[in-house]
Amino acid sequence: MIWLIFALLTGAAVMSVLAPLAGKSAPADPAATDKAFFGQQIAEIERECSEGRLESGDAEAARVEAARRLLRASEAADGGPAPSATQTRVIAAVGALLLIPALALPLYFYVGAAGLPDMPLAERLAKTPPHKDLSAAVAQIEAHLAQHPEDGRGFEVVAPYYLRTGRHDDALHAYGEALRLLGATPTRYDALGEAIVIASEGVVTPAARRNFDAALALDEQDPMSRYYLGLGAAQDGEKAKAREIWTKLLADASSDAGYRDLVRTQLDSLEAEPSEGAKEARPDAAEGPATEQGKAIAAMPDGQQQAAIRGMVDRLAARLARNGDDAEGWLRLIRAYSVLGEPGKAKSALADAKKALAGKADDIGRLDALAKQLDIER
């Protein structure tokens, strides 16, 4: 089909050149012009002589001169048209017929791709969709997964997008499906565990720990799982354990490992900063400036630090018992109990929160999502 189109285009180009050559143009024939002129001159001499306006001697002389010139013009006309014009047209026509295809075809074979197979429009749009942004691409993947829920690779591709855009529940589901469908690897366990930590606002929950433990069981040198297990120990107030994990991780890391600076920072701040549990457990700003509280708690011995944390949690619980219309407060309290290793109190707080926030579907949904993230048994 493509060659037929090329042939038609070549023919059109050739005809555009031949058309002017085929037309008849008025020949510029000087001999014919002179012949007509002198013929008219002789007729004019005869007319003037008959009318008496021209002497017979003068008329005869003029007649002889005009006849001589007419004879010369007639001889030039009898020689036929100059062959140069016809030859030029023939040469131009032959050149157009030969040179245009001769130049066009090699040029196409040099810059074109004659052997490239055709691609249907639908397939072309599917492979390189025009002006498609990231959200449209994700929508296309979601539509594909709705039709092919067994495609683990699709879940693995879309999960990071969900996590970056704050769609934590979707991200956890996608990472979980990728792990289930594609098989267990340290990387997939780490990805799911990290997603749980991010969804839990930085808290290494029991569910996250299980995934990091699973990754470590497959690869005892896995750096991500070791880092987060150290972070979880630090959040639980087990500074010695966290220090041991991170120190060994730093010793095993290569000189160009990208996480070395992060681990050093964690080790340096292990004594200077309050535990993550203290940050999660503290009540709202009405209790006092958070930064000053953090500094004060960090300066306390371990036993006093834990007592201070529990005191703040108890005050938050008492405030919510008086006025339970505070979804953020309930979420913070449930998370604090989980960090402190008191799943019974976390479960009780969850039940109280649902009673206090009954009728608020959005808040109940957030409570259910947090319970799932923290692995609070119903």
pLDDT digits (tens, 9 = 90+) for 16-67: 766 666 655 545 555 566 666 767 777 777 777 777 776 777 767 776 776 7
Task: Please tell me whether residues 340 and 289 are part of one structural domain.
Answer: yes
Is the CB of residue 328 less than 8 Å from the CB of residue 285?
A: no
What is the Cα–Cα distance from 269 to 80, expressed in whole angstroms?
110
* 261/349 same-domain check: no
DSSP string covering 147-184: H-TT-HHHHHHHHHHHHHTT-HHHHHHHHHHHHHHH--
Distances (CA, A) of 172 to 160, 166, 193, 366: 10, 11, 9, 15
Given this model, what pLDDT does residue 284 score? 44
Please report, for residues 4, 15, 81, 107, 143, the alpha-carbon distance to residue 18 in angstroms, rounded to integers and kept in the order given.
Answer: 21, 5, 22, 22, 58
Using CA of residue 207, residue 212, residue 213, residue 217, what is the dihedral sign?
A: positive
Q: Which of 169-183, 273-287, 299-313 has the lowest mean pLDDT?
A: 273-287
Cα distance between residue 322 and residue 286, in whole Å: 15
In a domain, 18, yes or no: no
140, 219: one domain? yes
Inside any domain, residue 6: no
Same domain, 257 and 202: yes
Amino acid at 366: R
pLDDT category of residue 287 using cuts at 50, 70 and 90: very low
The CATH number of residue 369's host domain is: 1.25.40
The answer to the question of residue 360 being in a domain is yes
3-class secondary structure, 103: helix
pLDDT at 248 over 70: yes
* Position 17 in a domain: no
Same domain for 285 and 298, yes or no, is yes
Q: Which residue, 269, 290, 313, sits at the end of a domain?
A: 269
Number of alpha carbons in the 13 Å side-chain half-sphere of residue 222: 21
Q: Say whether both 150 and 246 belong to one domain.
A: yes
Looking at the structure, do residues 284 and 352 belong to the same domain, yes or no? yes
Looking at the structure, tell me whether residues 74 and 91 fall in a common domain.
no
- Would you report the helix, strand and coil content of the chain in percent, each value rounded to 5? 75, 0, 25
CA 242 – CA 235 distance, rounded (Å): 9
How many domains does the structure of the chain reveal?
Answer: 4
Q: Where a domain ends, among 225, 246, 269?
A: 269
Are 165 and 188 members of one domain? yes
8 lies in some domain = no
Q: How much is the pLDDT for 107?
A: 74
Weakest mean pLDDT among 77-86, 97-106, 233-242: 77-86
Q: What is the mean pLDDT of the chain?
A: 77
316 close to 332: Cβ distance less than 8 angstroms: yes
Q: Name the domain boundary from 269, 299, 318.
A: 269
**∠ at Cα 141 (138, 142), nearest 5°?**
85
d(CA 29, CA 81): 8
- 214-225 tens-digit pLDDT: 999 999 999 999
**186 and 260 part of one domain:** yes
Q: What is the CATH number of the domain that holds 153?
A: 1.25.40.10
Rounded CA-CA distance 276/297 in Å is 12
pLDDT recorded at residue 117? 65
In a domain, 4, yes or no: no
Predicted confidence band at 286 (pLDDT cuts at 50, 70, 90)?
Answer: very low
In this structure, the answer to whether residues 298 and 336 fall within a common structural domain is yes
User: What whole-number distance in Å separates Cα of residue 342 and Cα of residue 329?
Assistant: 17
Specify whether 187 is located in the same domain as 257. Answer: yes
Is residue 110, in this structure, part of any structural domain at all? Answer: yes
Residue 20 lies in a domain: no
| Domain limits for position 55 | 30-80
